[in-house]
Amino acid sequence: MYVAVKGGERAIQNAHRLLAHERRGDRDVPELSLAQIAEQLSLGIDRVMTEGSLYDRELAALAIKQARGDLIEAIFLVRAFRATLPRFGATEPVDTGAMQVRRRISSTFKDIPGGQILGPTFDYTHRLLDPQLADGFVPEQPATSEATQAATPRVTDILGRDGLIESSPAADADAPVGDLTREPLSFPAHRDLRLQNLARADEGFLLALGYSSQRGYGRNHPFAGEIRFGEVEVEFFAEDAGFAVPLGSIALTECQMVNQFKGSATEAPCFTRGYGLAFGQSERKTMSMALVDRSLRARELGDEVIAPAQDEEFVMSHSDNVQATGFVEHLKLPHYVDFQSELGLLRKLRQEFAEANEAPDMQEAAE
Amino acid sequence: MASNQGLRDESDGQARRRAVMAVLAHSAMADIAGRLGTIALPMHENLREPEHGLVMVRGRIGGDGAPFNLGEATVSRAAVRLTTGEIGFGYVLGRDQQKAQMIALCDAMVQSTELSGEIETKVIAPLRAAMIADRSRKAAETAATRVDFYTMVRGEG
């Protein structure tokens, strides 16, 4: 526990003034615009929107600027902002199968309807720093070629037609969709709540857990059935209009992991799956999310639960970087009273220790 | 029979309004304003003052299964009524309340027999053409990155 302390107002004010000065940096260097951040640091924007759990590129840019590029601080700012706005309701579930695909790859089939599309990717780059980018580099216009009208069905839907992969859990019209922003977490948690938790979870935490599951901490031997990124239309049932109105589109990344089989005496063996979905182009995030989603299904699928990535209470209670940073960083706030009481206790213990050690000597001396 | 016809008319009307809303939602505010500047706007009042808030965006487990809450998005909304009685609604992603207001006005005009022709030709059609051109350009850029992987079979040739 920490207690309120009085005083220091002047110092705090000046500290924030100094922060604003440091944030601006050398005033001879042009100031960053929000448009520059949104356009040129777009993957940072995507991460802040995903983990801030709020799709708004301009707000994410402002948060990144205000946080001096500290993405977790920016996520914190976005979460705090969202708490100030009323919620009109929930959208119709988005249809990722109808995505206007910008990138779409499968590591399981080389020939998929609609084709493999690399899109804008770091894959196959050599990861060599490019000195050209240091100043005034003007890239070529992108190459173009004739686009086909072919649909790009989800790879898991294709596998599903032959029954080779488990089907997704069907919607239960009577069960409300779990929402952890409204109800405190309780365990065991249903998969809808787990996915909501994972969607806003810290990317680094999920990456490490996903990685641990691949290295043998929990059974996970997946293929990336499909990763797709692109624009998806969003619709909202407007009570006043009386029908679902289009709101525009948002960029999403989806990852479908295909995992080892499961079968029983009554059901033929089939692949199982893990799912990842996030705002923007968030490939590492959705891949990690899909690995962890599958790990967290251990009990449901009869896997032995032996590893952290399979423990939903462990994963869901520690995945949120705003909560985590709040608890870790609160340690730097004044704890003077707590510390005084510990100090008092320690002095008392040390005195008792000293007395206990002195006592035999004195006895010996007396004899 | 007559009531079926009525239902069909209503759903046709809704489909047309939804299509117009989709074009407007995808267009930049400045472009909509520019187009609206070329026509005479009808008298109207605000039924709902423009405001912004949040919607919870939902996905589906596995892409096609039960819904789950992915995260929120900012949304603006507005509603207007023309003096001739048509009521229009504007809903759009983002915090641009003026854009929601313009969408609501356009939605009301689309429902007016007198105004629907002009708003279609002078506002919606050009914005739709720009939206389609933008999508085609992106599709062509994307298509150029289509890849044909081929597998090497050991011991061949």
Per-residue pLDDT of B133-147, as tens digits, reads 999 999 999 999 998
pLDDT at A359 over 80: no
ipTM: 0.92
Nearest to A156 by CA among A200, A108, A122: A108
Q: Which amino acid is at A107?
A: S
pLDDT given for residue A334 in this prediction: 85
Residue with the bigger pLDDT between A267 and B22: it is B22
pLDDT at A366 over 80: no
B66 and A88 in contact by Cβ < 8 A? no
Residue with the bigger pLDDT between A266 and A309: it is A309
CA–CA gap between residue A68 and residue A225 (Å, rounded): 37
pLDDT given for residue A131 in this prediction: 92
Q: Report yes or no: A173 at the B interface, CB cutoff 8 Å.
A: no
**Could you tell me the pLDDT band of residue A260, with boundaries at 50, 70 and 90?**
confident
Phi/psi for B106 (5° steps) reads -60, -40
Residues on chain B touching A145 (C-beta within 8 angstroms): 140, 143-144, 146
Contacting residues for B49 by C-beta, under 8 A, at least 6 apart: B78
> In this structure, is the dihedral angle defined by the CA atoms of residues B42, B46, B51 and B57, taken in order, positive or negative?
negative
CB A247 within 8 A of CB A239: no
A110 and B151 in contact by Cβ < 8 A? yes
pLDDT at A220 over 60: yes
**Could you tell me the pLDDT band of residue B76, with boundaries at 50, 70 and 90?**
very high
Residue with the bigger pLDDT between A257 and A263: it is A257
**Could you tell me the pLDDT band of residue A354, with boundaries at 50, 70 and 90?**
very high
Nearest to A94 by CA among B18, B71, B97, B16: B71
| Domain parsing of chain B, residue ranges | 2-129
Residues on chain B touching A200 (C-beta within 8 angstroms): 71
Residues on chain A touching B89 (C-beta within 8 angstroms): 238, 240-241, 245
Residues on chain A touching B95 (C-beta within 8 angstroms): 56, 58-59
pLDDT given for residue A367 in this prediction: 58
| 113-172 in chain A: CB under 8 A from chain B | 115-120, 142-148, 154, 156-157, 167-172
| CA–CA min distance B58, chain A (Å) | 5
pLDDT at A7 over 80: no
| 44-63 in chain A: CB under 8 A from chain B | 49-50, 53-56, 58-59
The tens digit of pLDDT for each residue in A31-77 reads 999 999 999 999 999 999 999 999 999 999 999 999 999 999 999 99
B144 and A171 in contact by Cβ < 8 A? no
pLDDT given for residue A133 in this prediction: 92
**Could you tell me the pLDDT band of residue B157, with boundaries at 50, 70 and 90?**
very low
Helix, strand and coil percent figures for chain A, each rounded to 5: 45, 15, 40
| Domain parsing of chain A, residue ranges | 9-82, 96-118+150-168+179-325
Mean pLDDT within A217-246? 94
pLDDT given for residue B155 in this prediction: 63
The tens digit of pLDDT for each residue in A162-183 reads 889 999 999 888 889 999 999 9
Percent of chain B surpassing pLDDT 90? 85
pLDDT given for residue A365 in this prediction: 58
